[in-house]
Amino acid sequence: MTEPTPGKPPRVSRTEMAEHVLPNDTNPHGTIFGGRVMALIDIAATIAASRHCRKPVVTASIDEMVFLHPVKLGHVVLLEAVVNEAFTTSVEIGVNVYSENPVTGDRRHTGTCYTTFVALDDLGQPSKVPPLLPETPEEFQRQADAQERKLERMARRAKAKGK
Ligand SMILES: CC(C)(COP(=O)(O)OP(=O)(O)OC[C@H]1O[C@@H](n2cnc3c(N)ncnc32)[C@H](O)[C@@H]1OP(=O)(O)O)[C@@H](O)C(=O)NCCC(=O)NCCS
């Protein structure tokens, strides 16, 4: 019989990334373009998912992303990725995105995105992930919210598959 996988708290996999917004990242308005932000979200979330699962992971889905404020050329885009819940073979990672003015230090929350990653075994099949062990009231709340979102996601998936 295989030993049960030990659980891990969110702090073990929490991932922070910072990128200076350069001309190649921007649109004609001089602000970062959405696709670049989505790519950074995917990267930050992949790192957090890999740190939690310690297995190869693939992006299964990225939920809706609302861009609340632009991030300007020369400013810094900050990403903070946290495991909200670990299911059987998948994890939900919440990614918060912020912009920072490097001169004044002012920070603005520019959006939050929920992503789901699936861990794979050597044959590329979904593989069990360690359970999440929340430690703070906020982490317990995020876990409960992620469980609700998973139900909604699965309902949407079933509907899409039926089409
Ligand atoms: C993601 C993938 C591995 C799921 O494979 P599958 O055979 O559909 O797997 P299952 O139906 O057994 O589901 C496995 C897990 O994925 C979750 N899942 C599958 N599709 C999902 C979706 N669209 N959104 C959220 N979770 C999803 C399931 O809920 C399940 O989670 P659980 O075990 O924690 O409950 C497969 O669809 C795939 O390889 N997709 C392409 C991934 C990819 O190329 N990503 C971009 C580059 S990294």
Interatomic CA distance for residues 97 and 45, integer angstroms: 12
Distance, CA 27 to ligand 1 centroid (Å)? 32
Task: Give tens-digit pLDDT for 49-95.
Answer: 999 999 999 999 999 889 999 999 999 999 999 999 999 999 999 99
Does 68 map to a domain? yes
pLDDT one-digit tens code per residue, 15-34: 999 999 999 999 999 999 99
What's the rounded Cα separation, in Å, for the pair 127 and 120? Answer: 5
Q: Judge whether 59 lies within some domain.
A: yes
Q: How confident is the model at residue 3 (pLDDT cuts 50, 70, 90)?
A: low
Q: Once rounded to an integer, what is the mean pLDDT over residues 115-123?
A: 98
Please give the average per-residue pLDDT across 45-52, as a whole number: 98
Q: Which two tokens stand for residue 53?
A: 């699962």
Q: How many Å lie between the centroid of ligand 1 and the Cα of residue 51?
A: 18
From residue 125, alpha-carbon distances to 57, 67, 89 in Å are 10, 34, 10
Is the per-residue pLDDT at 47 higher than 70?
yes
Distance 156 CA to ligand 1 centre (A): 13
Q: pTM of the full predicted structure?
A: 0.94
| Residue 4 maps to a domain | no
**Is 3 part of any domain?**
no
Is residue 1's pLDDT more than 70? no
CA of 63 to the centre of ligand 1 (A): 14
The distance between the two most distant Cα atoms of the chain, rounded to a whole number of Å, is 59
Show the domain range for 72.
Answer: 10-162
pLDDT of residue 4: 66
Average pLDDT, the chain: 95
Pocket test for ligand 1, best of 55, 83, 87, 90 (most atoms within 8 A of CB): 90
Ligand 1-lining residues (CB < 6 angstroms) = 58-61, 87-90, 116, 118, 126, 153-154, 157
Query: Which residue's CA is minimally distant from atom 9 of ligand 1?
Result: 126
- Integer CA distances (angstroms), 134 to 24, 52, 66, 75, 151, in order: 39, 13, 27, 33, 20
Distance 118 CA to ligand 1 centre (A): 6
Query: Is residue 2 domain-resident?
Result: no
Bridge partners (DSSP) of residue 94 are 82, 114
Instruction: Determine the pLDDT at residue 61.
Output: 94
Residue 22 lies in a domain: yes
In the chain, the number of structural domains is 1
Residue 21's CATH number: 3.10.129.10
Closest residue to atom 10 of ligand 1, CA basis: 126
The answer as to whether 1 is a domain residue is no
